[in-house]
Structure 1
């Protein structure tokens, strides 16, 4: 990507999704080296057991796991960190103020959120929507130049989210983007480890 900021997270973040990527353990097994996973449990009744299984396999492979929206679940599963949706950045700031040292990523859908991300002590911010995406939650695509402008506004490492594939990743080279976050781009990948 060519991000100029040091980042505690690897350049590829894979996000789980109940419909598009429902098996976090299988996803971990498909990830290439230099990846991390964000486990989005969406209130699943077995979320602790699934998170623990995901962390166990990921730990063997050297893949960090961040749990979405749930600090207690992150601690209970021995995850590496927490991913905070934009609306929950105040909770991230409170956790940092209490001394939490887990890795924190967060989502940003508006330029003002970048300031809040820094204040919340995030290690990385996922900016959406980078490219046109079929995701039901995707907004209007901003494109690589607007994304680069956002990245210049913050000292927090920026990850592109939305419409990520090999073609769009190539368009991010040299723009100061630290990495990419993806759901659908990984679901059809073949396992990289046996």
Structure 2
């Protein structure tokens, strides 16, 4: 498979190939998990469980830690909020406008969403999921390696595997992805 170029961030560094995703269930271990990530890895900050003021304060604290390790922090939400919070990017469904200069992590679950993600401009990565069964959606359907590979081959932007990912599973699909992301797989 032809490798897509991961692109560069506004600071000139390569886009992360590894993303830790925050969630209520890994909040207590995030600082430790961030310190264990390789330099340059990124954090997708979701933290939907917090009220707006606490969410912004938690974002600021984690952003300092991620950036001290040469990484990027992306906010789940719209580009305008990401800019106000001084995030490096935004995370969400493909479509809508993008704020200039931000990394865009686009969630992709099927061909329709991939088609929309392929139209993205600027620094973007497609987070294709769920590759494997996941605790986030217990009992939910997963793509499996074959369907993930099919979507990845059609992507015109870097592909990040998400959903039930672990280091072992990341090695299994390394030839067909540009990186991976996880909640539990990077928090333990």
Alignment TM-score, normalising by the size of structure 1: 0.82
Task: Give the 3 Å change call, closer, same or farther, for CA 3–61 of structure 1 in structure 2.
Answer: farther
Structure 1: give runs of 5+ residues left out of the alignment.
Answer: 189-194
Paired residue secondary structure (1:38): strand
Shift of residue 167, structure 1, vs aligned partner = 2.3
- How many residue pairs match? The answer is 178
RMSD of the alignment, in Å?
Answer: 2.1
Greater shift, 10-19 or 27-36, is seen at 27-36
Retained in 2: the 8 A contact 1:127–1:159?
A: yes
Give 1:38's match in structure 2, choosing from 44, 60, 63. 44
Give 2:71's match in structure 1, choosing from 63, 72, 82. 63
Deviations 1:57-103 (A, max 9, x none): 2111101100111334422332211111x2xx333xx235xxx1111
**Structure 2 CA distance for aligned equivalents of residues 109 and 17 of structure 1:** 19
Deviations 1:104-142 (A, max 9, x none): 111011111111012233610111110122322673222
**Structure 2 CA distance for aligned equivalents of residues 138 and 70 of structure 1:** 29
Alignment TM-score, normalising by the size of structure 2: 0.84
Task: Give the 3 Å change call, closer, same or farther, for CA 27–76 of structure 1 in structure 2.
Answer: farther
**Higher RCO, 1 or 2 (CA under 8 Å, sep at least 6)?**
1
Retained in 2: the 8 A contact 1:126–1:159?
A: yes
Structure 2: give runs of 5+ residues left out of the alignment.
Answer: 8-14
Paired residue secondary structure (2:43): strand
**Aligned counterpart, 1:4:** 3
**Structure 2 CA distance for aligned equivalents of residues 3 and 79 of structure 1:** 30
Paired residue secondary structure (2:84): helix
Task: Give the 3 Å change call, closer, same or farther, for CA 138–33 of structure 1 in structure 2.
Answer: farther
Retained in 2: the 8 A contact 1:39–1:65?
A: yes
